[in-house]
A and B are shown apart, each in its own frame.
Chain A
Amino acid sequence: MTDAILLKDIDEPKLFDIEVYERRGGYKSLRKALAMSQDALIAELEASGLRGRGGAGFPAGRKASFLPKGDMDKYLVCNADESEPGTFKDRELMQKSPHMLIEGIVIAAHAGGANHAFIYIRGEYEEQARILDAAIAQARAAGYIGERILGSGLSLSLVLHRGAGAYICGEETGLLDSLEGKRGNPRLKPPFPALQGLYQGPTLINNVETLMTMPHIIAMGGAKYAKLGVSGSSGTKVVSVSGHVQRPGNYEIELGIPSREIIFDLAGGPPPGRAVKLWFPGGSSSPVLTADDLDIPYDFDSLAKAGTMLGSGAIIVVDDKTPVLDVALKTAKFYRHESCGKCTPCREGTNWTVRMLERIDAGEATPMDLDIMASVQDHIIGNCLCVLGDAMAMPIGSMIAKFRSEFEEHMESRRLAKVA
């Protein structure tokens, strides 16, 4: 493993305490960033090549530059609604190093010119919310949040907002509606949040890991950070590995290493005697890959070229003893449950996909059902306000394409069992 950045001191006892964090060099980057002009700070972030770690992989520096200049209220929202199945990196990062997140938030607020910041944390993360609340109070007392931070011109309020259990609130516009106290329905884009977001004001939304990387970029310099990883995917990434591996957990890797190294060398691979059948490279929303794809470099562009995505950086490994139908059904049921119901293709598409998969299991399906199911997926993609429907359609579509014969065998054996 290369030198860790985010996970370097993560197991330091009491790192959640401001004294320990400062002793480890914490909040030094903030002082450095506040001494820089807004444009210089954005230039530094752009030079680092940092791409968003939440799922979409949008360049973080450019995103900050989209906020209009001017004296109006501007908002920074930290997306800590980590709910993509298989993802648990933000949980561990926030729980163990909350001050690194706060430091990143203040730096990003300076870059975007925001004066109000919110952390939208998923409601289930009760322990993490308590740790963050305590850390925010410490940071406020130390003068890192509040009026004229460290004597600079930046004033920033920071409020921790707890969600209440809805996957869709990780979608940035659904998150904004939820933060405004409504049902978390996604909004039509444009207008994009950078111009009209929270309370109709300019809003910058970043993932926890993206924000936590910023202090390190400021400390080492954007150019040096850009040398880590590979072209188009700079830096390190915390990857959550789960499912059928011997050591599930968070591992920080330099982007671009072979996926095999993450799954086998770090996470220990499947238990003895079992082999990888399929794996999700970036959470349950990413099209699945098979054992043949294990040598694909783990970075944004290589995975996109393989027809899938890095997403939130969550690898879920499924071994050869698990029927692909079980995986498809679990995935589809999740998206049916979490669809907000606003757009028809997603609301109906997720529901009918589950029903068709259940028909297979009940021995009532015919091979034509697979074609219908595949066409349902095609009709969801790109036809909704947000990508929740796509997030089901992409993995299900890829499973049908790559494991069609297994679906057909399953179908036939269930049919025969029913007849008998």
Chain B
Amino acid sequence: MSPSSDSGQGFEYRQELAGREIPRSREGSRSPGWDEPADLEKDPAGIPDPALIDVPIALRSEIEEIMGRYPERHSAALPALAAAQRHHRWCSPQAILQAACVMRVTPGYLTSVATFYDMFELEPAGEHVVYVCTNISCSLRGADELYDALEAEVGDQRDITLRHFECLGACDIAPMVSVDQIYYGPLERSDAKRLVGELREGREPLPELRLALRATAASEIPEGTKQ
């Protein structure tokens, strides 16, 4: 929408607001950019022109393959964004534009989707992404302290992106972390140093704590207490 198409008080009001910072709520929003006023000078972006957008061939073929799985191409939005994120390490404007170009949707549509889901990185992410579950079951077993210990180990370096995460569905190994989507637990606070150290050395961190290696809990009930 161009300014000339707007009329009356509304436009002046919004222009007045445009220069000021308007906090939406005390907590802020979970979507970056949400607290900034809209750019009224800018037209909404249409479906990207394939002739003008350079999409890496691997990403293009991956998204096209994904679209082929569904009766409706829009269903590919989440996996396409995930693929774009893998290629660019985060859902950058460029990544979203490329995915939108292949999917034949507007970047605004994919942005609306990307901002809804927690796993899409809306800011540049590090080489490794570590989720720490800090929901009830994990926090009862020391997840908040574990997070603090990890935060201290990671320090100011941006190679590791550390995130609080809601229940990751692994309360049996609480407190636990998901390192680049692989689950490890239960962790002690003292494991934080090793985890960050081994990640930085390029090794699998805490391999013996990998969830996939565990047997079911029922198999570990000591004899005698069994019913």
A residues at B contact (CB < 8 Å): 1, 4, 7, 10-11, 73, 82-88, 90-92, 95-96, 116, 122-127, 159, 161-167, 178-184, 199, 240-244, 247-252, 261, 265-268, 280, 284, 314, 316, 318, 322, 326-327, 330-331, 334, 337-338, 340, 351, 355
Contacts and interface: CB of A to CB of B under 8 A. Distances in A.
B10 interface: no
A351 B24 CA distance: 13
Contacts of A182: 74, 77, 113
A13 to B, nearest CB: 10
A72 to B, nearest CB: 12
B172 interface: yes
A127 B183 contact: yes
Given A86-B167, A337-B30, A243 B140 contact: yes
Nearest to B170: A88
A181 B178 contact: no
Contacts of B178: 124
Choose among B25, B120, B137, B171 the residue with the greatest number of A CB atoms under 10 Å from its CB.
Answer: B137
Interface stretch (B40-48, B147-155, B191-199, B211-219): B211-219
Interface residues of B, number: 56
A336 B138 CA distance: 18
B227 interface: yes
Nearest to B120: A164
Contact of B78 (A86, A87, A161, A267): A161
B140 A164 contact: no
A257 to B, nearest CB: 9
B217 A165 contact: no
Interface in B43-75: 69-72, 74-75
A249 B113 contact: no
Contact of A351 (B25, B113, B183): B25
Nearest to B27: A351
Nearest to A240: B171
Given A83-B169, A91-B170, A181 B136 contact: no
A180 B169 CA distance: 24
A366 B175 CA distance: 34
Contact of B136 (A159, A240, A243): A243
A103 B139 CA distance: 37
B95 interface: no
A159 B171 contact: no
Contact of A7 (B79, B173, B218): B218
B225 interface: yes
B227 A164 contact: no
B174 interface: yes
Nearest to B166: A334
Contact of A249 (B79, B120, B139, B217): B217
A96 B71 CA distance: 30
Contact of A165 (B118, B140, B141): B118
B212 A127 contact: yes
B182 interface: yes
B171 A242 contact: yes
A336 B219 CA distance: 37
